[in-house]
Structure 1
């Protein structure tokens, strides 16, 4: 298998983190915002995170930092029990408030910088960010459905619908994007990647994970003979599939994994050996059939196979054993170069399947243009 993938933010910036950022336009109210996403840079992307964590132990110098007091409006909104009780020096591990600067969008280019003057987050000590996270991580961005998550706060401040779209790049040299606000979302040179999109109901678990329904699985357009009760069973979660940016590869419950991989191997043996066209090889596709037979999430080509060693290619799925957290966990590798729009107002997920079939990808937002 390839090394563990962590998708982290490049451009999330408090006033303390980007000291030389240009001033935002006065009273600027964009309807769409954008962040760069890269592999292994300082802010971890967490779909189920309820807020943003930032390391305040080191290199956090700001004159606009504020720690809300207990029983304040901010603490009530955050449902936080780690607020100030008396006026002494701010400490790591508390609810905090500061300015946040973020880029708006103009087509497939960045627009003017927008400002959120009273953004709530958690000022976390270093040791919390070192537990199970990559080295040099300076924070965690929470994209969950929660009162002070990043999508919720941005939508509330700027007055647009609580929606965000994730587009992770497969490249280690280029940046993917997270859009906040409704589409259209454009990639250079002006391709609207948000049309057409399929959609399926989105459910949020008590722990904040995002789930979608999976009714069956197909390989090479043929139905895999699964016990479908495993797909709808709630003993491992809500049933169906959980979407995770912190899980590197898609995890299948043991019996599902065994059946799917055996069926895949059988189909692979019958595929004619023709010259592959990058990034599509001679491998059969895997379809997750969602809430209706007409809506599928097709996994193929570069999202399907992983080069473990030179000349050795493996199916990018993992055996989760008999008691995984969900029957299916769709991991970050299978999310690459797919556009996923999380519509928190309508409780639905809109998805594109691989953008490479449209001759574009998630690295094609033109961040090199100056706002």
Structure 2
């Protein structure tokens, strides 16, 4: 009896020890599983054209000490659509858009801090210029803004009420023909003539390029980097940088409701390093950081900026107000919607919904 009692006691002790050890083992496994205990995931919401660049930039960041335990989700689409989606609740830790007003919308919604553009780069991450893209060899010799308004020429550019790129495209031609906004009637008359030659208005710059490379149109207006992207991917396109064109400035910001603001800021800081700016340059964007390396870009003789046209508040009111503006009047005559999310009707064509992807 004493022996049996002693054996039961030993068994009970071993059982308790086993439970304790098992609990410790379980805790250890859960904390070290894949080394992911302190990993974070950042949501990047961006406009459509820099997707390839950001995929490379994320991979490069994840090789640094600051980024080795940071994962990303990525969403790409028309800049205005993306901005409105974030304002309506789409999760974002960083927002990278085509133009400043799409960030300003989020400042108004208190989703981006008002000081977002107080750094030495004024909140910008890349530059570009508006160019005229054509078929390989430029068979119709389309080199100037006037060429695009000639009868019988088909020109592709996105819908300015969804696409930030479309606004830049319009401002390039408008600024050139209005002498930087000093002759508004001439600028408006030019846009009226130009848009009579636009058979399709996609929702984004990337969708517009895809429509062109699929065989539609004689020319397209776009970012310089989009034309370079097409060439890099084997598309038979050429492009011309007009003497008079606009400097395109692309903003980026960390959101105020980011769950991981330190990691988001670390990624933003990385994007301003020479190594990251060279990746942008290799993807056709003009770096905002001097001496970043990569290809060189010519400076057009008549290059102007949004500031030369009076700034975004003035330009948006005069040219892009959906109710009453130069472009609203032109679109209404063409039977094209000026709402934020136009449906495919008439000569307008809606692009696919914003794409989303995940990246480690």
Same fold by TM-score greater than 0.5 = no
> Shorter-chain-normalised TM-score: which range?
under 0.3
What TM-score results when the alignment is normalised by the length of structure 1?
0.23
Q: Which has the higher contact order (CA 8 A, sep 6+)?
A: 2
When Rg is computed on C-alpha atoms for both structures, the one with the higher figure is 2
